[in-house]
Structure 1
Amino acid sequence: MKQCCLLIIACMAVYSSYAQQLHGRVADAQTKEALPGVNVRLLHTAAGCNTNAQGRYDLPVTATDSIEISYMGYITRQVAAHAAAHMPVIYLEPRTANLNEIIVSSSRDKQQRTEAPIAISTISPQTLNDTKATTLDQVLNKVSGVYMVDLGNEQHTMAIRQPIGYKSLFLYLEDGIPIRTIGDFNHNALIEINMAALRNIEVIRGPASSLYGSEAVGGAVNFITASPTLVPTAKVQLEGSNWGYKRADFSVSNTVKKVGFAVSGYYANQSNGYMDHSDFHKLALTAKVDYQLNEKTKWTNAATLINYKTDQTGGLDSTHFFAKDYRNFQTFTYREVKALRVRSTLDHEWSSSNHTTFTAFFRNNTIAQNPFYAIKDVKGTQNANGQINSDGFNSYGIIVQHKKQFNWKDAALIAGVSADYSPATYIADYIAITKNAGGYYASYRETDSVLTDYRVGLLNSAVYTQFEFSPVNKMRVIAALRYDRMDYNFENHLTSSAYTGAPTERNNFNALTPKLGLTYNLGNNRGLYANYSVGFAPPNISELYTGVKVPVLKSATYQNYEAGGWFGFANHRGYADLSVYRMNGTNEIISVRNADGVYENRNTGATTHSGIEWTVKYEPVAGLLLRTSGTYAAHIFKAYEDGNKVYTNSQMNGAPKWISNTEVTWKPVVLKGFRIGAEWQHIGKYFMDAANTAIYNGYDLFNARAGYAFKGFECWLNCMNIGDQLYATTAEKSAYGKTYRVGPRQTFNFGVAYTFTGKN
């Protein structure tokens, strides 16, 4: 017996001599960011652990063990323990065609894509890197149901479950916070995004007002910025085009103990393009600092600065457009944007079932312009008139959210409050303009006449809640409700006889927006979803007060019904995603022409929007990825009167029925680092006016991209509009004739980059 005990003790001693505590971290192979919640386990036993908030794991192993590292949306890795001991960071590669990824925009918290009963798409870091976009529409238009309209030099407007237009029906967010205050919408708001700072983009199609409030009607686009990397990284990137476009990007990032930082930005400059008076420049900078106070508390501070100025170019008439005459008759119009956003977020995990987030933010924004669209000719003379205006605001806001998880039915409750005080000012001065014999608007003279001068104290406050649970196995039910109140304290600094003569007064708008949805998991990465949601959009301050005597507008309301599903192909080769929707809008704000020829905004519109959206991604063989995304939709006026003209049951203008984007990308296994791809963008025909008297036939655009990366070096060549096709990004007909906004001509972009990655 004594000998047996001694033998057992000896064996234990020998075993312990070979045992070791394996430490390490897990990160995303593309972004180098830490991956929390990764499962790290011994390959042949049940022993294992999950990585913490900084991607760290700690696992007892022996020299003969192997470990398996797995995480949703990533390719599982197996590593021998003795090899892992010499790998301070283990990198996981994202799956090429991934369905069940982690999203944050659907509930303001992390969740699986297949548990969100909404139409949502993600633009991955890989897509952003491969596209090498010079404008955001080059990536957003890959999303089904999205047509981001290029208006030149990063200027744009949007169409998501809506026709091409300029209304406040889309909400743009940065890390879950609106980049502009509600009530002061600008369709060019994405000028204020720093493309060099992005990690990925999430796009919600359809109303998201139950979580994000007003303006989230056609959709909400959340731009998620990159977090600090686990290892030291630095990148510099240079590119240019055959039309005088030049751009330089940089980024620096690292984590030292509990503190991580990331700084990134770019400077872009356009000169001597194919169209006269089309130069611009932009500086964008973003800094982010994460401080992991302890395992349960994280403090994040971030700031973004934008300085932008562009020449403004308008559309061309039919004669100049079809003759490919790119002369611009505007010689002095411009738009200048200065924006600063600062936020501070404290995340605290009270327990495994309680999590609180507190965010305070500040925004400072000014848009100054001499707009081409405000120029009006004086009949019978060589004179015209216009305006120079400035729209600015400061914002002071907070968002507090708590999430509580329950043992009953896998339930979870999210509750939050938000408040945003944003005093805004708007000033417009009258200018006298002179045209020369060639028809060019050659010069202007400032006058002492003030058209508009007001201040609005904007106060947006809201409470919201969302409850989700699984009443039966494989089913998930989500119910959400939000109450918003918007107070406008308007102070007019002019008399009642002025162009803007509305009296000083207070206006308020409020809305209760519900959402009810469910998902059903059919197994094998297949499932169904359905939801009912409500969106609303209060009148913008420029709609409510500018150029009016008495503000009388109400909020527009939209009711949305949709259903859909997803189908994952075998062996993670790809997936298909489908959505069907119908959205009814009432009290829509429409610019109506009165008998005297003057336009004014009225709540006279009612519309229906219905369609089907799809995305299919498939990797038939390793390295070859096929994707097609698109929508077929009908947008109908149910009630619309413009003076004596009635357009009920007419198709809405600027509303193509077919929108699709198809792409094939090849990354040959035998030539690692090389990629080549081709893309087809299709915009179907649509009516140019509400009376349905003129049609624009749409366009088909073909693009190609190629690149090669070797170690830290990368070079690429993109050819946009391969056939140098003449096309218009917008086409409109008014009482003054037809106007076409010229799409970019054949453009070659060449770039080089170098990325340094440390070994820590």
Structure 2
Amino acid sequence: MPCIPLQRPISQPLRLRLSPLAVHPPSCSDYLDLIRENCVGLSTREVDAIFAHLARNRGFDVHSAHLSGNSKLSSWTKENFVNQYSTKAMAAVVLAQSASWAQAQDMSTPPQTLDVVTVTATKEKTTLQQSPASIGVLSEDAIRATGPTHPQQLLGQIPGVAVGVTNGEGHNMAIRQPFTTNPVYLYLEDGIPTRATGFFNHNALYEVNIPQAGSLELVRGPGSALYGSDAIAGTVNVITRAPAKTNGVETSVEAGSYGWARLLLDGTFGANPDGGLRVSVNRSHSDGWRQQTAYDRTSANFRWDQVINEQIFAKTILGFTSIDQQTGANSPLVRSAYENNPTQNNFSAAYRKVQALRFSSEITYWAGDDVFTITPYARSNQMDLNGSYNFSSDPRIEKTDVASYGLLAKWRRDFTGGWKPRLIMGLDLERSPGTRTEDALTMIKTGTGASTNYTGYTVAGRIYDYSVTFKSQSAYSHLQLSPTDKTLVTLGLRLDRIEYDLDNRLNSNVQLGAKYYGQAADSSTAFSRVSPKLGFTHLIAPQTSLYGSHNHGFRVPSESQLFRAGSDTTDARASTKALLALSLKPIRAKQTEIGVRGTTGGLNYDVVAYRLEKYDDLVSQRDVATNVTTSVNAGKTLHQGIEFALGAQLDRAWRVDSALSFAQHKYADWTVSGSTNANYSGNVMEAAPKTIGNTRLTWQPNARNQAQIEWVYLGSYWLEASNSPTYGKYEGHQVFNLRLSHSLSDSVRLHARIMNLTDKRYADSASVSSSTPVFSPALPRALYVGADMRW
């Protein structure tokens, strides 16, 4: 980002001297912004120690030389520093960015040391040392070196995270949960939700340009009190690339197996000491390795950073994505077809077309001890979907169109005093009018049961047609205290009020054949929740930090859960079903976790244990009074485990990094009634592997050559909730990937990847359909080669 001037002159220059491997050296603002935003009250003795540490460990000359980048910027002395800033633990914050910039592009993704800076947990730049949460950070270099064609290939480098491939870049997640498409994850771009809460889509990451992101942060477990609905199991924040310090263009061209082709264009224009514009374009295509599973993507991002004056900085982002894909890539097959004919696609009639547009402008104003940030934003999400998952029970074409308008307002102040308080308060407002139309289908098919092949369809008639406006008003506060020099305590509280206003354009129930689709009457539905959080960090050694938290999360029912209850066998039952759906409540969650992170003897580590409980989860049950089967808030699940991020530099050329997790996911209280009557309480949840692993061995003999072998492990899991040996388990899998790169010069880099190096047959997902185990075959061995060029 550009240099942000100080509010009053300072007198002595400070020079930044980085490792000779530095690719993008930090500007003065990268440090001054961190100092300005993140620290409290230092004595002269503390300042002396910090300056000595900087000089010793980061090569800073604190007595002479010059801060590059902005003619408005004077220099500073230690005395001016003491007078002008009041912050605690500033050294770690100041050092944070230099640690990442001072590396050449590196395939390894070591566990984060204490001085790595994150923004997701507190909506402010802060170090891991100060973050009482389990956070994984993937840097720009890690993203570029991985070259992901799907989020699965990147996010698995974070402990406790597994991603399943559905179609194209579509995905389901397993973060402290079984693999699920339920709305228990919050997806952000630069801290702003990519979708309105009421219109959740489990594939939301395909609307974001991950291959060209500046970094990615993932908070595991319920979001802090700074975030609202959906942040139950994890929050994923994709951060855009800031403009470079100088004008230039980067191009990446790639080709690969199964018709894969990708062109990435990236450039900075109008660069000057006060800002610049970055443009990133992603054009991707795949023929698909299975029958009729082609995929096309076009994405563009524009980010303009600008210093308005000495007190105001603006960051404006415009993002666009268009996706057109045939969605049978995850078509499940019976065991014999899975093993012998994996390219077979039984859902060739399915498709998904997506358009997403996002705009935001974050304006930060420094007024003495106060920092104000306002971020107005707008977005549009459109989808035309013929979902393969509906074919066997409720085939339909769904079209949704949602426009959102919102404002994020935040105030922060660092106070002086014994415990050096920092207070953050904010207000989030959003209004999202949207529409949904659904047309029932009559499927054209051959075969029976789990081997049914759906080849086409005819439109039978409209079953839903309504507009709904989602409205949310949320206020939060976050207090940070330092009772000792080594201890930081955080307390948070958030109040959410969420409303839906329904305007149904169908005035009566719809009958199609033997099915009746109940229609909700025009109505308003509202929910209110209070979410607290308590956390702490404690520096138990210079490079070791203990952290822990207890926090609450929730998610409100989505618009489709409230207003499209589905079909029943009579008009009266369908009406009752539609009415019962309106009584759904939010799902609640609470989590306690404790962990330790740091560095010792060349080993980086982050180890955390957690216990997450979900209450009022949706269970299908028969209503006693009406005998109608519908979803009710009657389920409780328990999720607990331990996660490890480990990394070690074995010698000058070799490094190993590993992300491991061991977890148990159980139904604590889960009784199903209706067409099936069962009590699953005490059972292990389906699609819930106990063990998830990712280990990468990286060889970098010099700055121009790198090679990495990656081992991906997924443990076995039950195929269905009864844990019946009749259906058994998916056996799990081990997959190896190879990545190579060679720099011909400072401006040309060649790279290659072989995914699934041993051509292992394994499943992206496995379940039971029509009383038969089915498996969705994953990508076989695939080769990708490309070149990156810079001008």
**TM-score scaled by length of structure 1:** 0.87
Aligned to 2:399: 390
Name the residue aligned to 1:10: none
CA deviation map 1:473-515 (0-9, x unaligned): 2010000000001001112221342314122211111110000
Aligned position for 1:4: none
Residue 648 (structure 2) aligned to one of 587, 594, 618 = 618
Tell me, what secondary structure is at the counterpart of 1:494? Answer: coil
d(CA) in 2 for partners of 1:202 and 1:516? Answer: 21
Change (3 A) 1:753 1:592: farther
In structure 2, how many angstroms separate the alpha carbons of the residues matched to 1:680 and 1:56?
50
Q: Determine the structure 1 residue equivalent to 2:457.
A: 444
Of 645, 653, 662, which residue of structure 1 is paired with 2:678? 645
1:682 is matched with which residue? Answer: 713
Which of 246, 255, 258 does residue 243 from structure 1 map onto? Answer: 258
Distance 1:93 1:274, change over 3 A: closer
State the number of aligned residues: 705
Partner of 1:423: 433
Deviations 1:161-213 (Å, cap 9, x if unpaired)? 11111111000000000000111111011110112430110110011141111
Contact 2:497 2:526 in 1 (8 A): yes
Offset of residue 623 of structure 1: 3.1
Equivalent residues in 2 for 1:441-590 (5 A)? 441-447=454-460, 449-498=461-510, 499-546=517-564, 547=566, 548-550=577-579, 551-570=582-601, 573-590=602-619
Take 2:654 and 2:98, find their aligned partners in 1: how far apart are those partners?
A: 17
Contact preservation (8 Å) 1:52, 1:295: no
Amino acid at match of 1:520: H
Residue 436 of structure 1 deviates from its aligned partner by: 4.9
Distance of aligned partners of 1:502 and 1:48 in 2 relative to their CA distance in 1, 3 Å threshold: farther
1:243 CA displacement: 1.2
> Counterparts of 1:555 and 1:20 in 2: how far apart (Å)?
57
Match in the other structure for 1:132? 147
Structure 2 CA distance for aligned equivalents of residues 582 and 53 of structure 1: 48
Structure 1 Cα separation of the partners of residues 653 and 501 of structure 2: 58
2:190, 2:237 within 8 Å by CA — same for their partners in 1?
Answer: yes
CA offsets, 1:403-438, max 9 Å, x none?
100112221000000101001111001222222579
Partner of 1:654: 687
Question: Per-residue CA shift, 1:345-375, capped at 9, x if unaligned?
Answer: 1111112x32111000001011111122222
Answering whether residue 603 of structure 2 is matched by residue 609 of structure 1, we say no
Shift of residue 592 of structure 1? 5.0
| CA-to-aligned-CA distance 1:291-342 (integer Å, 9 cap, x gap) | 1112321112110001101001122222311223421122321000000000
- Does the 8 Å CA contact 2:15/2:66 hold for their aligned counterparts? no
Q: Which moved more, 1:294-303 or 1:711-720?
A: 294-303
| 1:636 matched residue in structure 2 | 666
Bigger mean CA deviation after superposition, 418-427 or 36-45: 36-45
Task: Report the residue type matching 1:648 in the other structure.
Answer: S
Which one of 232, 243, 246 corresponds to residue 228 of structure 1? Answer: 243
Distance 2:623 2:313 in 1: 57
Provide Cα deviations, 1:449-469, integer angstroms capped at 9, x if missing partner. Answer: 211111111001100000001
Tell me the equivalent position of 2:80: none
Aligned-pair CA distance for 1:600: 3.3
Q: In structure 2, give the amino acid aligned to 1:399.
A: L
Q: CA deviation at 1:71?
A: 5.0
Q: How does 1:326-341 map to 2 (within 5 A)?
A: 326-341=343-358
Does the aligned pair in 2 maintain the 1:32–1:231 contact within 8 Å? no
Report how far residue 523 of structure 1 moved.
2.2
Aligned equivalents of 1:597, 1:442: Cα separation in 2: 36
What are the superposed Cα offsets for residues 122-161 of structure 1, whole Å, 9 maximum, x if unpaired?
0011211211111111110110011111113101011111
Question: Is 1:754 equivalent to 2:764 in the alignment?
Answer: no
| CA displacement at 1:344 relative to structure 2 | 1.0
Structure 1 distance, partners of 2:741, 2:732, is 30
Aligned to 2:86: none
- The whole-number CA distance in structure 2 between the counterparts of 1:597 and 1:724 is 51
Cα distance in 2, alignment partners of residues 579 and 523 from structure 1: 17
Q: CA deviation at 1:567?
A: 2.8
Distance in 2, matches of 1:472 and 1:534, equals: 26
| In 2, Cα distance between equivalents of 1:115 and 1:431 | 54
Return the alpha-carbon distance in structure 2 between the equivalents of residues 70 and 158 of structure 1.
Answer: 32
Change (3 A) 1:752 1:611: same
Partner residue in 2 for 1:287? 302
Aligned-pair distance for 1:625? Answer: 1.6
The answer as to whether partners of 2:163 and 2:171 remain within 8 angstroms in 1 is: yes
User: Does the 8 A contact of 1:209 with 1:217 survive in 2?
Assistant: no
Helix, strand or coil: the match of 2:484? coil
Counterpart-to-counterpart distance in 2, 1:30 and 1:597: 67
1:414 aligns with 2:446: no
The one-letter code sitting in structure 2 at the alignment partner of 1:197 is: Q
Q: Which has the larger radius of gyration?
A: 1
The aligned amino acid for 2:578 is K
Does the 8 A contact of 2:13 with 2:66 survive in 1? Answer: no
Tell me the amino acid that sits aligned with residue 616 of structure 2.
N
Bigger shift: 261-270 or 190-199?
190-199
Moved more, 253-262 or 35-44: 35-44
CA contact (8 A) 1:524 1:568 kept: no
Does 1:376 find its partner at 2:392? yes
Q: 1:168 aligns with which of 156, 180, 183?
A: 183
1:326 partner SS:
coil
**C-alpha distance after superposition, 1:204-233 (max 9, x if no partner):** 001114111111110101101001110122
What amino acid maps onto 2:458 in structure 1? R
Contact map agreement 1:196 1:250 (CA 8 A) in 2: no
- DSSP 3-state at the match of 1:238: strand
Cα distance in 2, alignment partners of residues 260 and 155 from structure 1: 33
- 2:252–2:263 Cα contact (<8 Å) kept: yes
CA gap of 1:617–1:695, structure 2 versus 1, over 3 A, is same
For residues 687-743 of structure 1, give each alpha carbon's deviation from its aligned partner in whole angstroms, at most 9, with x where no partner exists. 110101121111111111111123110111101111111111111124442221211
Output the amino acid matched with 1:286: N
| Structure 1 stretch displaced more, 515-524 or 317-326 | 317-326
Looking at structure 2, the residues matched to 591 and 54 of structure 1 have their Cα atoms a distance apart, in angstroms, of 62
Query: Separation in 1 of the partners of 2:483 and 2:259?
Result: 60
Contact 1:173 1:220 in 2 (8 A): yes
| Alignment of 1:179 onto 2:175 | no
Cα distance change on mapping 1:21 and 1:650 into 2, 3 Å: closer
Compared CA separation, residues 683 and 41, structure 1 to 2 (3 A) = closer
| Cα displacement (A) at 1:673 | 1.1
Rate the CA distance shift 1:55–1:515 in 2: closer, same or farther, 3 A.
farther
2:281 is aligned to 265
Q: What is the distance in 1 between the residues matched to 2:777 and 2:312? A: 51
2:732 to 691, 698, 702: 698
Residue pair 1:105, 1:222 contacting (<8 A) in 2 also? yes
In structure 1, the residue corresponding to 2:183 is in which secondary structure?
A: coil
Alpha-carbon separation, structure 1, partners of 2:593 and 2:377: 34
Gaps of 5+ in 2: 1-10, 33-50, 78-91, 511-516, 567-576
Pairwise CA distance, 1:54: 6.3
Segments of 5+ residues of structure 1 without an aligned counterpart are 1-18, 62-68, 78-89, 378-384
TM-score in terms of structure 2 length: 0.84
The verdict on how the C-alpha distance between 1:320 and 1:504 changes in structure 2, with shifts beyond 3 A counting, is same
Between structures 1 and 2, the one with greater strand share:
1
Distance 1:185 1:32, change over 3 A: farther
Query: Aligned partners of 2:16 and 2:766: how far apart in 1?
Result: 57
Aligned with 2:322 (options 307, 310, 318): 307
**Higher deviation after alignment, 44-53 or 525-534:** 44-53
Give, as a single letter, the amino acid of the residue that structure 2 aligns with 1:711: D
Which of residues 193, 209, 225 in structure 1 aligns to 2:208?
193
Query: What is the alpha-carbon distance in structure 2 between the residues aligned to residue 223 and residue 755 of structure 1?
Result: 24
